[in-house]
Amino acid sequence: MIGSRSLAQRRRTVPRSATRTSSPALTATALVLATAMLLGEDIAFAYKCTPVMDANPEITQAWVSRCIPYWIYGSGPDLQATSMDELVHTSFEVWSNNLCTDLEFVDAGPTTNTPGFDPRRPDEQRNVIAWFDDRTEVARYISSVGLLGATLTWHSTQTGEIFDADIILNGAYFRLDDIEDQTACEEAAGRDRAYDLRSTLVHEIGHFIGFDHDLDADSTMLATAEPCEIKKRDLTGDNLLGLCTVYPAGKPTATCQPPAAGYDSNGGDPTAFRDQCARLAGDGDCQCHHLGERDGAAAGLTPSARGARAQSRSQSRSGWNWLWPSALLTSLVVLRRRSVRFNGR
CATH architecture of 8-18+25-35+52-261+275-334: 3-Layer(aba) Sandwich (3.40)
Q: How far apart are the first and last CA of the chain?
A: 19
Q: What pLDDT is attached to residue 135?
A: 94
Return the pLDDT at 100: 97
Beta bridge partners of residue 106, listed in sequence order? 69
Q: What pTM was computed for the model?
A: 0.77
Contact predicate 207/151, CB 8 Å: yes
Write the CB contacts of 316 (distance below 8 Å, at least 6 apart in sequence). none
Distance CA 132, CA 313 (A): 33
d(CA 207, CA 212): 6
At residue 13, the pLDDT reads: 30
Average pLDDT per block of 10 residues along the chain, 345 residues long: 30 29 33 34 69 91 94 89 91 97 94 90 90 94 87 92 95 93 85 89 97 94 93 96 97 94 79 80 61 42 26 26 37 40 26
Task: Give the model's pLDDT for residue 267.
Answer: 65
Mention every residue, 6+ apart, whose C-beta is less than 8 A from residue 193: 175, 185, 186, 227, 228
Q: What is the pLDDT of residue 287?
A: 72
Using an 8 Å Cβ cutoff, are 61 and 164 in contact? no
Positive or negative CA dihedral for 75, 32, 10, 137? negative
The domain segmentation of the chain, as residue ranges, is 8-18+25-35+52-261+275-334
- What is the rounded CA–CA span in Å between residue 217 and residue 88? 24
**Nearest 5 degrees, angle CA 229-CA 235-CA 237?**
125
For residues 211 and 62, give the distance between their C-alpha atoms in angstroms, rounded to a whole number: 8
d(CA 345, CA 343): 6
